[in-house]
Amino acid sequence: MSRIGQAPIAVPAGVEVAISGDSVTVKGKLGELSQEVSSGITVKIEDSTITLERPSDAKEHKAKHGLYRALINNMIVGVNEGFSHTLELIGVGYRASNQGQLLDLALGYSHNFLINIPKEVKIETTMEKGKAPTIKLSSHDKQLLGAVTAKIRSLRKPEPYKGKGIKFQGEHIRRKAGKSAAK
């Protein structure tokens, strides 16, 4: 089992953490997030560090111990620094544009995809000549950002033969050889 749950969480300056019952609320310069914590896990704040304790070494308690520690840490990092993902559109005629929170994607189908992005996620699209169109998503909520990014990527996953599709910036796509020419 992982020992992540035992590591203390440092609370940086400018971030407020409040615990009420089974709920942990984190407030910072980028926003506010809250998380319900399982009744078995105890959250304590001492000075500027947060520690989580579990009642026993049962498998379920160990798993939730690490889970809630990671979720609270992600909330603190999110409201202080934020998270961002950059997606690249690889393919001839693939385009991306946005009007406010409405993302318009042309992905080689007969119709464009129009996606409403939640207001907590900031979106920025760039199209430069000679480069693949990019979509930059940023938010203070890591879970929401991951869900939105996965939804966009699922519209056209990268394929292994030509590498066409929507991929993360810097992601390596394993390529296949394709058909061999007959003699």
Query: pTM of the prediction?
Result: 0.88
**Beta strands across the sheet bearing 83-90:** 122-126, 134-139, 83-90, 165-168
Supply the pLDDT for residue 1.
47
**Would the pLDDT of 58 be above 90?**
no
Q: Mean pLDDT throughout 22-44?
A: 91
Please give the CATH superfamily to which domain 83-168 belongs: Ribosomal protein L6 (3.90.930.12)
Please give the CATH superfamily to which domain 4-80 belongs: Ribosomal protein L6 (3.90.930.12)
The answer to whether 147 and 109 have CB atoms below 8 angstroms apart is no
Supply the pLDDT for residue 30.
92
pLDDT class for 40, splitting at 50, 70, 90? confident
What mean pLDDT value characterizes the chain?
91
Asked if domains 4-80 and 83-168 share a fold, the reply is yes
**Would the pLDDT of 43 be above 60?**
yes
**Which phi-psi region, left, alpha or beta, contains residue 49 (left: φ > 0; alpha: ψ -120 to 50)?**
beta
Question: Domain spans of the chain?
Answer: 4-80, 83-168
DSSP 5-71: GGS-EE--TT-EEEEETTEEEEE-SS-EEEEE--TT-EEEEETTEEEEE-SS--HHHHHHHHHHHHH
